[in-house]
Amino acid sequence: MDCKKPVQQDEQQTIPFQMKPESFNIIHQRRSANYEPNIWKCDFLESLDNIYDEPECKKRAEKLVEDVRSVIFGKAVELDSLAKLELVDSLEKLGLAIHFELEIKEALGTIAIYMKQKNGNLDGEDDLYATALSFKLLRQHGYDVSQDMFSNFMDAKTGAFIRKSKHENIKGMLELLEASHLALEGENFLDEAREFSTTTLEKTLPNLDGFLAKQVVHALELPSQKRVKWFDVKCHISVKEKDRDMNPILLELAKLNFNVIQATLQKDLKELSRWWRNLGLREILNFARDRLVEAFICSVGLACEPQHSCFRKWLTKAINFILIIDDVYDVYGTLEELEIFTKAVNMWDVSETKLLPECMKICFQALYNMTNDFVDEIQREKGWDKLLPHVKKVWTDFYNSLYVEAKWYNTGYTPSLQEYLSNAWISSSGSVLFAHAFFCLEHKVMKAEEYENFMEKSKDLLYNISVIVRLCNDLGTSSAEVERGDAPSSIVCYMREKNVSEEMARKHIKGMIDESWKKLNGECLRTQMPTQLMQTFVNIARVVEGLYHQGDGFGVQDGDKRNKIKSLLLEPLSCSI
């Protein structure tokens, strides 16, 4: 089922604000989502101290980068194509690709030219592992390689993969699975590859040893194309530690690089914790999710590099407010209050909140101040002007879409899936994240009309990312929302529209997510925007895939989620400095 395209800005309907203050019901039983108190206390976060923030650690890391460049890449000319691909793959999995961008670009460029001369094949035409690895890496780096690379492994008549024992080694199957998730619309070979590799790996899994079994489970749960690379660096380092052929200099650099970046992230988090404490909203908005650390993790997922601290600061603040505002609309406010609240935002006027409860007044005042501070800092640092109308626009669109959902809930209305998505792609908050990423990471001096042109050119990209955000969120939170009687999600909308079971509805929604990823893959190949910016946008979808893969990534702070955060932010790797 095709989703409706984004509504253009000038087509968006304004909300009629007609409610009279005297009609307010003063006594109102507030709803509750029963969120657990935040487990990450400000005192703890602000006490973090890290030895890897010292200058000598950074100097050691810089020295190791040069050693790798001279020792490993100095010998790269002697490597065959497969060995070069494995080196690039290792660098990316270990979180080191940023240090060797030129070398990686040169290596892949050489391989792409060679494969074109060989009609899309490496030296070993029957090597599924080499074919799948080359396809994955080249397509990830923007090379429009063809799915026909896999035709040698398929039955020409049926289009099905041929079962040959030499094709069914685990390394080959894992890479085939990874490659299949880079499919574009209409690439039937890759759809077959995904089904074939998944089935083969699932059948083989019971016979694998513990360590290899974990790698297979990891890939089956979520492929690398849908994962934030930085979140898996520790896992890949543990794999490489057991590899006897692993270069010790590369391994040492990977560990130290992780620790140095972790130290930077801790500094960012300490600063944000002080901001959140000083803002004083935790006690006032006690009905809302207090999830600063989870919001910060999302910003890390979009851009983990040390030079992007400013971006992480502003994005974390924005995500924090997205959660609070979402809870104001879903949990706290009456429809009458939400109408006034939405009107105040559309007018961008704090004085319009005077009839609202104190907590809602303070919420909008805090968002108003943060947005103006964001605009002032970006304009001052980058020499831009007239940013405020654009930032206001994404926030007002977000509020307006939440108000539509609140009206649906209060009137007991269940929209069709199509109608739901025409609003839900905006309520996903994808536009808010998109705008903050653009203004923080775009380096070109820009006029207002240039931003408008960029957004027009990027509307399909934004829409597909936002659909993935919304539908992944629904898959992870729908059961809890149904239990507490929230507005219908995409799953409920489809169940009622088609009169099908929840299982069937979830299968359909997952299929829609897969189709959106294919469109997103196509956008990545066609884009002319800077690589950093494009990858940050795609990382929005990746963060949300991981966040809601096994339930509610924001509402619930269980042991597994807590341990992942500790591993990523608080626990350095053991290494010599």
- Residues 553 and 476 sit within 8 Å (Cβ to Cβ): yes
DSSP-derived secondary structure letter, 157: T
Q: Considering only residues 9 and 316, tell me which one the structure prediction assigns the higher pLDDT.
A: 316
Judge whether 405 and 298 are in contact, CB under 8 Å: no
**By C-alpha distance, which of 224, 203, 204 is closest to 212?**
204
Domain ranges within the chain, ordered by starting residue: 73-246, 280-570
Confidence of residue 577 (pLDDT cuts 50, 70, 90): low
**Residue range 8-16: average pLDDT?**
38
Judged against a pLDDT cut of 50, whether residue 76 lies above it is answered with yes
* CATH class of the domain whose range is 73-246: mainly alpha
Measure Cα distances from 310 to 66, 264, 313 in Å.
28, 12, 5
Angle at which helices 335-347 and 388-411 pack, to 10 degrees? 170
Q: What separation in angstroms does the CA of 84 have from each of 95, 98, 119?
A: 17, 17, 19
Of 162, 166, 40, 41, the closest CA to residue 557 belongs to 40
Angstrom distance (rounded) from CA 430 to CA 394: 9
Confidence of residue 414 (pLDDT cuts 50, 70, 90): very high
Q: What is the mean pLDDT of residues 325-345?
A: 95
The token duo for 11 is 């087509």
Residue 197 has pLDDT above 80, yes or no: yes
> According to the per-residue pLDDT averaged within each range, which of 104-113, 503-512, 552-561 is highest?
503-512
- Between CA 499 and CA 35 the distance in angstroms is 32
State both tokens at 326.
Answer: 């979402």
Q: Which of 92, 95, 89, 96 is nearest to 69 (CA)?
A: 96
Nearest 5 degrees, angle CA 305-CA 307-CA 308?
Answer: 75
CB 290, CB 272: distance < 8 Å: no
Cα(242)–Cα(225) distance, rounded to whole angstroms?
24
* 180-211 as b/e: b if 16+ CB within 10 A: bbbbbeebebbbbbbebbbebbeebeeeeeee
- Specify the pLDDT at position 77: 64
Average pLDDT over residues 553-565: 82
Do 327 and 287 form a contact (C-beta atoms < 8 A)?
Answer: yes
Beta bridge partner(s), residue 154:
161
284 burial class (0-12, 13-18, 19+ CB within 10 angstroms)? middle
Mean pLDDT of the chain: 88
Q: What is the pLDDT of residue 487?
A: 78
Does position 160 have pLDDT exceeding 70, yes or no? yes
Higher pLDDT among residues 62 and 485, named by residue: 62
Tell me which of 69-83, 153-167, 273-287, 468-482 is least confident.
Answer: 153-167
Q: Quick check: 48 pLDDT over 60? A: yes
Helix (H, G, I), strand (E, B) or coil at 553: coil
Confidence of residue 10 (pLDDT cuts 50, 70, 90): very low
At residue 120, the pLDDT reads 65
DSSP 125: T
Report pLDDT digits (tens) over 20-44.
333 333 345 677 667 888 899 999 9
More confident residue, 478 or 213: 213
At 379 the pLDDT is: 92
pLDDT digits (tens, 9 = 90+) for 132-152: 999 999 999 999 999 988 888
With b for 16 or more beta-carbon neighbours within 10 A and e for fewer, the 132-143 pattern comes to: bbbbbbbbbbeb
CA dist 241 and 305 (Å) reads 24
- Percent of the chain whose pLDDT exceeds 70: 90
- CA–CA–CA angle 34, 40, 45 (5° rounding): 155
> Looking at this protein, which amino acid is placed at residue 56?
E
- Distance (Å, whole) CA 400 – CA 172: 49
SS3 per-residue string spanning 443-459: CCCCCHHHHHHHHHHCH
Considering the domain delimited by 280-570, tell me its CATH architecture: Orthogonal Bundle (1.10)
DSSP secondary structure letter of residue 16 = P
**What pLDDT is stored for residue 28 in this prediction?**
52
pTM of the complete model? 0.91
pLDDT, tens digit (0-9, with 9 covering 90-100), for 357-386: 999 999 999 999 999 999 999 999 888 888
Q: What values do phi and psi take at 375, rounded to 5?
A: -60, -45
Report the C-alpha gap between 355 and 364 in whole angstroms: 13
Report residue 502's pLDDT band, with 50, 70 and 90 as the boundaries. Answer: very high
| Structure tokens belonging to residue 427 | 């309520």
- pLDDT at residue 483 is higher than 70: no
Please tell me what DSSP assigns to residue 27. S
DSSP string of 57-89?
A: HHHHHHHHHHHHHHHTGGGGGGS-HHHHHHHHH
User: What's the helix, strand, coil split of the chain in %, to 5?
Assistant: 70, 0, 30
